[in-house]
Amino acid sequence: MDSPDTRGAVVQARRKIPLSRESVLAKALELVDADGVDALTMRRLGQALGRDPMSLYRYAENRAALLDGVAELVLEDLSIKKDDPDWKAQLRQLAHDLRLLAIRHPNVVPLLVTRPLSTPLGMRPLGTLRPLEQILSLLIETGFEPKDALHVYRAYYGFLYGHLLNELQEYIVDPDENEALLRLGLHRLPPKEFPRLRALAPELAEYDGSEELDQGITILLTGLESQLSQQRLVQQR
């Protein structure tokens, strides 16, 4: 009749530390980082924590909420310092920070990108909305009209996320066989239909994401700036 855990003393020491939302999410992130989103099942997570899977429901309503929590946790590493008055430099810095985050947790990116699509803005985890608020705040405090701030934010964040998706798509998982493997992938394509793509194989292999992101940001921000200042002139007369 005794339960399978015969090692009472040991269990006692283990069990002394109760779970917490943070520890659960941290472990969940570990699993996702290691094996991808699909590998994060309630049972596996429970096992990794040495607890019954059902105990997890104390810390997240369901699996979807757990995934939201993971996304939130990752985004918490982002910070934007409000003291710097140079908004363009700030946004550029933030872009690179997010890029590095994404590269550090590539398996989380699908969550960052997909979850908001199925959650109305106001219902998102607060941690997810914080960057948005901070950017708006930054822009407004450097003189933008709120409406323009929103405009800038949308273009900026749009481009940023798009770039990340692009870059991660081309991200090679096994950089060892780098070019060869890449070519091998492309080799499968019918030459008649995809001559350009195949010819660009070497260039694809030496993709510098950071550089590309930086240039895009530059174009976008200066473009936005001039667009807005021009528009202001028109309004004044």
Partner DNA sequence: ACTGCCGTATCTACAATGTAGACTTTACCC
Partner DNA sequence: GGGTAAAGTCTACATTGTAGATACGGCAGT
- List contacts with a copy of itself (CB under 8 A): 36, 106, 109-110, 113-114, 116-118, 120-123, 126, 129-130, 132-133, 136-137, 140, 146-147, 149-151, 154-155, 157-163, 165-166, 168-170, 172-173, 181-182, 184-190, 193-197, 199-200, 203-204, 212, 215-216, 219-220, 222-224, 227
Closest CB 38 distance from a copy of itself, rounded Å = 9
The amino acid sitting at 94 is: L
Q: For residue 120, give the amino acid letter.
A: P
Judge contact between 39 and 32, C-beta under 8 A.
yes
Q: How far is the CB of 29 from DNA (least distance, A)?
A: 15
6 binds, among a copy of itself, DNA, none (CB under 5 to 8 A by kind): DNA
* Residue 188 interface partner, choices a copy of itself, DNA, none, CB cut-off 5-8 Å depending on type: a copy of itself
Query: Token pair of 226, please?
Result: 């001039």
User: Which of 27/99 has CB closer to a copy of itself?
Assistant: 99
- How far is 12 from 16, CA to CA, in rounded Å? 6
In whole angstroms, what is the distance from residue 49 CA to residue 214 CA?
41
Does residue 205 contact residue 182 with C-beta atoms inside 8 Å? yes
Residue 220: name its binding partner from DNA, a copy of itself, none (Cβ under 5 to 8 Å by kind).
a copy of itself
Q: Which two structure tokens, joined as six digits, stand for 44? A: 């596996």
Residues near DNA (CB under 7 A), total: 25
- Cβ distance to DNA smaller for residue 14 or 187: 14
Binds 23: which of DNA, a copy of itself, none (CB < 5-8 Å by kind): none
CA distances from 39 to 26, 27, 33, 36, 69 (A): 15, 12, 10, 6, 16
CA distance 180 to 186: 10
Give me the least distance between CB of 33 and DNA, in Å please. Answer: 17
- Asked if residue 51 binds DNA (CB under 7 A), the reply is yes
Q: What letter represents residue 180's amino acid? A: A
Asked if residue 21 binds DNA (CB under 7 A), the reply is no
9 is a contact residue toward DNA (CB under 7 A): no
Burial class (CB in 10 A: 0-12, 13-18, 19+), 38: exposed
Q: Choose between 147 and 237: whose C-beta lies nearer to a copy of itself.
A: 147
Of 27 and 163, the one with the shorter C-beta distance to DNA is 27
Q: Which two tokens stand for residue 60?
A: 């997240």
